[in-house]
Structure 1
Amino acid sequence: MATGHTTTKRRIALVAHDGKKDTMVALALSFAAELQDCEICATGTTGGRLEREVGLTVERMLSGPLGGDLQIGARLAVGELDALIFLRDPMTPQPHEPDINALVRACDVHDVPCATNLSSAKLLLAQLLRA
């Protein structure tokens, strides 16, 4: 997990491909009380839905294809994120696949927990937020 921050709030990035946005909203609803106490950043459309449908305060980046994945990757690289949940749609080709791979790779390089599917996202949030 990233270190060096003075706040006790968890800093979590939430990203979801179009085919997984409903799943991300449902996930956030199930952890809404805990996520309210976190600093959340998300890519554009995902962040907007989390604000409207879950009531979270979200710092919205650009949409993924326009560079939002890279913005989140930059935060991750300088220790400004404690975890990434990126609900990927493995069945739909993504035009910005290199950016997606770079973001997940950055989690590995900087030893930041990363969940890319619903099951691992639930486990990660349960451990990170309820422990």
Structure 2
Amino acid sequence: MAEIIAKIGKEKYETTLTAGKHKIIADEPLTVGKDKGPTPYDLLLMALGSCVAMTLRMYADRKKWDLQEVQVVLNQNRAHAKDCGDCESKEGFVHTIKKEIKLVGNLDDTQRLRLIEISDRCPVNKTLLGEIKITTTELT
């Protein structure tokens, strides 16, 4: 996996992201930035959506199922933990990601149900639901 580099200058809040030979721009909406690219949360949801779609494609191909297309629609919201009745966290924010999947193809109900189950097994989905530790050091 390529090392990811995020670089920002004085231009609010345009950030160049580099992954190997690939570059994209991240930014904030016009309310605070210049809307030159997706926001950091948009990029997070894009990572999840692409992983889910690829995982379903791989699984259907391996099973030789007639999956013609996958569309993954994602939304993210956050709420105060104290306002969430069924959440483990009681402080800070609880983030909720809504994932809707459209499966196009000649699939029976059992295949559709299995693909929906498999969608939770993509590596990014599992990472987001697992314990994450981030270490921070200063580059010299």
Structure number with higher relative contact order (C-alpha < 8 Å, ≥ 6 residues apart): 1
- Interval of TM-score (by shorter of Structure 1 and Structure 2): under 0.3
- Higher CA-based Rg: 2
TM-score norm. by structure 2 comes to: 0.22
